[in-house]
A and B are shown apart, each in its own frame.
Chain A
Amino acid sequence: MPDTTTERAALIEGAPAPGVKKTDPIVVADGVQRTFGGVHAVDVDHVEIPRGAITALIGPNGAGKTTFFNLLTGFDKPNHGSWSFDGKPIGGVPAYKVARRGMIRTFQLTKALSMLSVMENMRLGAQEQPGENIARALVPALWRGREQQITERAQDLLARFKLDTKADDFAASLSGGQRKLLEMARALMSDPTMIMLDEPMAGVNPALTQSLLHHILDLKATGMTVLFVEHDMHVVREIADWVIVMAEGRIVAEGYPDQVMSDQAVIDAYLGSHHDTDLGDLSEEQQAELLDETQAEVEREEERNDG
């Protein structure tokens, strides 16, 4: 096990702060804005994702994490902004081309292709299959060789994710957790340089969570960059090297996991100031008081945003 502390310390130049420069960024985004009918869903001034590390993107519901994901991967178009991947600008590049350049994503709601077999799902993840061209598809001699390579790679990955016994079953027959595994394995078929996981642990039982965590750590070990959205703080603490916190579309904090999670601003934004009191235990007066306090806080926040 490498020394994570020194490894992590080498990630940034300067002190941890929102938009801090990274020593070796793989993604650099500038002024990315996406509005939905006047609401700034995403409003990111500057952010850099470190290469070869596991970065967690956290924030309350509606913070714009998934929208930011969609923007980076070309699934949504921003109103403003530019960003680059691996040194090349990819703003405005269609989703499929982003994927071909090595930035592969998964989805919050798992997208296993149910009426295809697990093996066909995997094969679909591969790149450079000449048989995907309609004319060459008619001449099997042109693609059989590549298909063989793809199948072997798929078998290796399925074995790694313990899905090899399911290879010939329809993806529809898999459990929710197995579908998460399949989606991750499928994303790996193209040997991406960066993998973006949107809530990889959502709806996965604790036993499988452990195995998914190991898989994600394995990805990093092979030199891949991982960016993931997650709500479970234990997961973030356990595997993330770097944490980016979003709230109301902005990046409100960045830092090492332990540091970020003890940051008062983050606790306020993410968990709420009264995260350790149970609403049911409060009297009506206390609840009203709490409501006023929250509103005051929101107003202060708005003033700060305007200023």
Chain B
Amino acid sequence: MDFSFLLLALGQIISPQTIAYALAALGLAVQFGFTGLLNFGQAGFMAIGGYAFAITTLHLGFPFWLAVLATLVATTVMALVLGIPTLRLRADYLAIVTIAAAEIVRYVVKTPDLIPLTGGSDGLNGAAVTFDALNPIPPGSYGFGPLRYDENDLWIILVGWIFVILVALLVRQLMKSPWGRVIKGIREDEDAVRSLGKNVFSYKMQSLILGGALGGLATIINIIPTSLQPDNYGTQTTFFLLTIILLGGATTVFGPLVGAIVFWIVLSLADGFLSLAVQYHWLPITTIQQGPVRFIIVGVALMLIVIFRPSGLIGKKREAFFA
């Protein structure tokens, strides 16, 4: 029996994918956990941000920092477009509009007519050039056992983690400040906050922009070691992110980080054990069914968390979201 997947699962702790999901989940925690905005289209923000980065890099030859700026501009525009009409309405409207907008983004970039720009269903490759050009790590192979990283993998992992931790500290500072107090007040009751003289609409917009920007930046980290695939930013991604923040604690800053790590380890372990089970015929399923079964496990886990541990792994019991 091949148990090497155990080590690979361990590799998920630091993988760029985990970093990206942690960052996008942190953005969603700002919107959903702290402000109470039901953004069901975080995957759309991720896609917009990723395409802005990849298109400006590949087609316009933008240097790295300028392409990052393009990502921030793109996600901000998306937040404004979605937020201006819906943030004055009840919370549910934002949920409906964002889930639809995310799907629109995905279908638009996959349109065959846009292949020269977006690569259609194949997505875009090679957006990492400008980032890898900044890499100071000497070429070589780093790591141990089956966990081997080349200099570029190591570069994105290092930069990614440093960035995520800096962002988390920044968000923590914001949430401890009077700004965060207003934001949390809006989550509890926006009319009360309005009656105390705060421009609720503006705060909600700031939160939507901040969270969306983190989603866009997350995609940059996600696509640098691989490529930009439109179908990676479907509705399921948004629900993975929701699972992650509920797992870690929706009203905490470090919860999404812990949640992302645990989520990808569990998914990777489930994959490993399932393929063993399929290989030795312990389970009456085929290799093709194995993939979807992992996601059934995710769904059941999400339900169990909400029922038995509503405050998440590191959240305070009293601040439980589904109390």
Contact = CB atoms under 8 A, between A and B. Distances in A.
Contacts of A114: 188
Given A125-B196, A131-B179, A132-B198, A115 B184 contact: yes
Contact of B188 (A96, A116, A127, A132): A116
B181 A134 contact: no
Interface string B181-200: 11011011101111111111
A160 interface: no
Contacts of A134: 174, 179, 206, 210
B180 interface: yes
A143 B179 CA distance: 11
A123 interface: yes
Contact of A186 (B181, B187, B196, B199): B196
Nearest to B318: A170
Contacts of A105: 195
B185 A137 contact: no
Contacts of A131: 177-179
Contact of B185 (A116, A140, A170): A116
Interface string B120-147: 0000000000000000000000000000
Interface in A85-124: 94-97, 99-100, 104-107, 111-116, 120, 123-124
A129 B193 CA distance: 14
A170 B196 CA distance: 19
A190 interface: yes
Contact of A111 (B182, B184, B189, B198): B189
A118 to B, nearest CB: 13
Given A113-B192, A134-B206, A124 B200 contact: no
A133 interface: yes
A75 interface: yes
Interface residues of A, number: 39
A229 to B, nearest CB: 15
Contact of B178 (A115, A137, A170): A137
Given A107-B191, A114-B188, A131-B179, A138 B196 contact: no
A185 B61 CA distance: 58
A96 B194 contact: yes
B191 to A, nearest CB: 6
Contacts of B193: 113, 124
Contact of B181 (A73, A120, A172, A189): A120
A307 B170 CA distance: 66
B59 to A, nearest CB: 33
B33 to A, nearest CB: 11
B319 interface: yes
Contacts of A140: 173, 177
A23 B121 CA distance: 74
A38 to B, nearest CB: 24
A30 interface: no
B184 A75 contact: no
B111 to A, nearest CB: 36
A147 interface: yes
A113 B188 contact: yes
A107 B182 contact: no
A95 B178 contact: no
A112 B193 CA distance: 10
A137 B180 contact: yes
Contacts of A116: 181, 184-185, 188
B197 A115 contact: no
B196 A124 contact: yes
Given A129-B178, A134-B174, A137-B178, A113 B189 contact: yes
A155 B270 CA distance: 53
Interface centre among A104, A111, A170 (most CB of B within 10 A): A111
18 contacts: A73-B195, A99-B194, A107-B192, A111-B195, A113-B192, A113-B193, A114-B188, A115-B188, A115-B251, A115-B319, A124-B185, A131-B177, A131-B178, A134-B206, A137-B179, A137-B180, A187-B195, A189-B196
Interface of A: 73, 75, 94-97, 99-100, 104-107, 111-116, 120, 123-125, 127, 129, 131-134, 137-138, 140, 143, 147, 170, 172, 186-187, 189-190
Interface of B: 170, 173-174, 177-182, 184-185, 187-189, 191-200, 206, 210, 251, 318-319
Closest 5 CB pairs of A and B: A131-B178, A137-B177, A111-B192, A99-B197, A137-B179
